[in-house]
């Protein structure tokens, strides 16, 4: 099943039983992988029902509950338990926490497709879509050594003033340390990666020398 067809199928599952509007939904960020497809389908379904923030709040509440309740986490991730048992458990949780109908359907679809173990990844992907929807851009900067607060602020200023992230209303820069890149930086945001690391330049040079 192609990515587009899979997303359409998940979206249909999420909105089943409801009169779905025919308006076209513009997804603010292209995501990949299973979690990306589910999150995109959920975003589309929530947007059509005009409940994007409500679903986000539900998922935040769900993640908090899962993190605090080890038994619930084990219940959701247990591969031995059947779909029916998990669906009933999730329906009880959704009712107790007063989840929106779209959120409830989302959990039902995950259980039906045996994807509850990946719920946290899907929720994380949905959060990324919501951040993009609000014009918030999460930038990950990988360096060989931790950058100082001053360096991160200067980098944030440069990214904000430049055309690298032109549509950003707000920018959050996170620093990840990876000594193997030797020096320089790797900047990642959305589905874009800008590799300015020394390791990358050395690899290109080595490849050039091999060809010569």
What SS3 class is residue 97? coil
Residue pLDDT, tens place only, 161-208: 766 666 666 788 899 999 998 888 898 886 788 888 887 777 776 676
Nearest by Cα to 43 from 161, 123, 139, 98? 123
100 alpha carbon, distance to own chain's centre:
20
The token pair at 180 is 């193997």
Q: 86-119 pLDDT, tens per residue?
A: 899 999 999 999 999 999 999 999 998 988 888 9
Report d(CA 50, CA 32) in Å as an integer.
24
Residue 138's pLDDT is: 81
pLDDT reading at 212 higher than 60: no
pTM over 0.75: no
């Amino acid at each position: 099943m192609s990515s587009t067809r899979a997303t359409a199928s998940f979206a249909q599952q999420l909105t089943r039983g409801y009169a779905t509007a025919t308006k076209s939904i513009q997804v603010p960020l292209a995501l990949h992988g299973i979690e990306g497809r589910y999150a995109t389908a959920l975003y589309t379904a929530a947007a059509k029902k005009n409940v994007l923030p409500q679903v986000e709040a539900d998922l935040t509440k769900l993640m908090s509950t899962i993190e605090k309740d080890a038994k619930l986490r084990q219940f959701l991730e247990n591969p031995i338990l059947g779909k029916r048992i998990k669906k009933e458990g999730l329906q009880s949780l959704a009712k107790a926490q007063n989840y929106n109908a779209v959120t409830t359907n989302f959990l039902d679809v995950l259980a039906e497709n045996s994807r509850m173990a990946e719920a946290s990844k899907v929720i994380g992907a949905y959060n990324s879509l919501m951040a993009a929807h609000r014009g918030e851009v999460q930038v990950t900067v990988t360096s060989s050594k931790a950058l100082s607060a001053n360096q991160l602020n200067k980098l944030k200023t440069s990214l904000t003033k430049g055309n690298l992230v032109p549509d950003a209303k707000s920018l959050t820069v996170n620093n990840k340390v990876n000594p193997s890149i030797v020096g320089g930086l790797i900047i990642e945001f959305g589905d874009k990666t800008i590799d300015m690391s020394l390791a990358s330049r050395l690899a290109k040079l080595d490849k050039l020398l091999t060809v010569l």
